[in-house]
Structure 1
């Protein structure tokens, strides 16, 4: 009688090691490139180093990403701009107040980008944008503009619902984003050199930032100056 567990010949075939490895290579290359771009910057990172760190040949790297520019763009799309698309989709179904949406948005931004190695891309863009205007333009369209549009949409939602007072959306969004960029820049520059008790706690920083924003944004009854509830 045949075994209920089946014979080895009946088991699902296991892909050869080389085949599994080939499928994993694009992700490994992007991870290696992110590490090196954050560690060394765009200009100093060589394609050979990315391939070596990913454990593949330079030819394999060029098979997936023909130029270093294309590799960088893929890293940004994978680790940063894709997060904004996720947030846009999630917030279309958000049912809470606009204050809660703003608070949630900045918290998720930190969890999905700021707390990860991808936060180092902000420092890279700031330091090398003038030397690589094409990549700066790419980041403007793929990262900065979608981020501004999302924040403006949240602020406009609050204004339309009577929760926020009318403000200059462009500059209010810039104020909102600027503090988050500062937090990521600190993480990859001065913070590692500071004593632990002098480093900013990201969650407390974000909570204080949102509280300050809402003090200026929220509509309150005349004469009421209390801070909005957290």
Structure 2
């Protein structure tokens, strides 16, 4: 049997990704300012000088976390828009479910908290997050809502704010995963949460005549 490979002999191609993932976890746990490059190296299982081979600074790591870990997740949503054949209501369900699977159930669920906490101190990173992730994501939701309006499925008076209302519950759920104070159930059932959110979005609170 060949000897087991220690962490330092992993493929070099994998190391930048491991450094980014370790950095994201530490940024959320300790905060950006309190995280040292040596902490990132230790968490990634590399020598202290290794992160500097790939990244000029801790700020560069922060920027790359957004660009290389977060923004590529948009591709799944874009693929869904391109290939989906069902109703706009079903497309909205599929899009929010995909959003939760790619972010809510992964380490990336920490990004909203991280950007709220650190975005003011790093406006360049905040701008990348807004322009390259948030704005394209909102454009996808706008497409779904306008698709539903055009087909007669949706009745929406203010699409701009509808987008914000749709996003808010999922963002709050992600924030609560990384907060000491949780205003959601201790054990959140994502399927129930998404189902209830969509039921309220699509059907509202008012009972229809057939419900009586």
TM-score (norm 2): 0.85
How far apart are the structure 2 equivalents of 1:157 and 1:123?
A: 31
How far apart are the structure 1 equivalents of 2:87 and 2:189?
A: 26
C-alpha spacing 1:122/1:62, structure 2 compared with 1 (3 Å): same
C-alpha spacing 1:134/1:170, structure 2 compared with 1 (3 Å): same
How far apart are the structure 1 equivalents of 2:10 and 2:208?
A: 63
Q: Does 2:211 correspond to 1:211?
A: no
Q: Deviations over 1:125-159 (max 9, x none)?
A: 11222222222212111221122111111111111
How far apart are the structure 1 equivalents of 2:125 and 2:22?
A: 19
Q: Which residue of 1 aligns with 2:107?
A: 117
C-alpha spacing 1:131/1:177, structure 2 compared with 1 (3 Å): same
C-alpha spacing 1:146/1:225, structure 2 compared with 1 (3 Å): farther
Structure 1 residues 197-206 or 151-160, which shifts more? 197-206
Query: Which has the higher Rg, Structure 1 or Structure 2?
Result: 1
Aligned length: 203
**RMSD across aligned C-alpha pairs, in angstroms?**
2.5
Runs (4 or more) in structure 1 with deviation over 3 Å come to 17-20, 190-194, 197-200, 223-227
TM-score (norm 1): 0.79
Q: Does 2:122 correspond to 1:138?
A: no
Pairing of 1:1-230 with structure 2 (within 5 A): 20-190=10-180, 198-215=186-203
C-alpha spacing 1:226/1:185, structure 2 compared with 1 (3 Å): farther
C-alpha spacing 1:149/1:60, structure 2 compared with 1 (3 Å): same
Alignment gaps of 5+ in structure 2? 1-6
- What SS does the corresponding residue of 1:206 show, helix, strand or coil? helix
Q: Deviations over 1:61-90 (max 9, x none)?
A: 112111222211222233322111221122
How far apart are the structure 1 equivalents of 2:100 and 2:135?
A: 18
- Alpha-carbon offset, residue 32 of structure 1: 1.1
- Alpha-carbon offset, residue 23 of structure 1: 2.2
